[in-house]
Structure 1
């Protein structure tokens, strides 16, 4: 019976750690569903390599939270295995666990209050602004000024209308599209970019409004999708 109480209390501690970590990750800008999935993934050491996991790696504050979760998850696994395999002794330290649960419960309630939420959010933004260079910030925070902003690669195929077109003629049409660089064969062209004449096989790396990019390069995107589905 005491073993069951111990396990219940320890799983309660894990649940509270999850709630606190999810709240802190949400304050850095992650969505609730993404934050919760990533917290459980790191805590259990399952190692899911989703697109969202890159948003953890690229963010300095989120990396610190993830390091704690990985270490806590490894420690928790050892405790649980030890509890099950040895069936423990009478020294279950239930009082100490109860105190830890009390502290974590108070901490969970505290970080979820609107006032503390705003203070922590401002603190994290200040931390990013004052202690990290611009290139250390996640790309979406630096480049994506609006919800529809994207970075996209466009492959120039044989049916493209942009073959032999100067890149300046594309971006000068008044569209919200910027060419970051062009991959032409082995060369990556960034200097004198506007004077480059687009050739078959070039890869354009674009930044701008998603809808305008898809509209301007609709034929190229359609050909890329067909190629991807065929492979």
Structure 2
């Protein structure tokens, strides 16, 4: 492989790396993780580093996240091997091949343009929306409202629901308006909204997208309400 081809391949590899990190950030977010934690997990998996015991629990407690992490680690390994191989080839070829400086210049300009584009919040938002829409269509709701069972009591359980898709029947309604406890036979124990913990849930509260909700009730009732909501 010539120096110029190796250089172009290396830049393409860098661009592909950033694109994959963004894609998997969206996929992790669809499993219920916040944006910052989703991005941290994506970068950690791609670099095979950065995990702490507490952070790794976010992956281990979800089958969907474990599958995503497994795929990302494989990509990370391939990127590492390819990157090292290309760098070694660049070093070897730099002393033997005739270097085309115009190719280097064009490659650098192209890389700068890509980096500028990736800094655009509008472009990133549109790209994320596209990935999210495609992911939901392909997985048929697999990433919608990740439900994690915390405790089981005979036929009832306590579950944590990462609300990424609001069921139409509860959207923009308070618990009182939909008579939540009697209609769905579920009790909302706690709502975590960002950094706010609502541990005294009242009838005027609503369940919103992005909430982490602690719910008590039967598994069938929980799954029927939150997993069939796309």
Q: Report the TM-score range of the alignment, normalised by the length of the smaller protein.
A: 0.3 to 0.5
Given the two structures, how large is their TM-score scaled by the length of structure 1? 0.46
Report the structure number with the largest CA radius of gyration.
1
Given the two structures, how large is their TM-score scaled by the length of structure 2? 0.46
Normalized per residue, which structure has more helix?
1
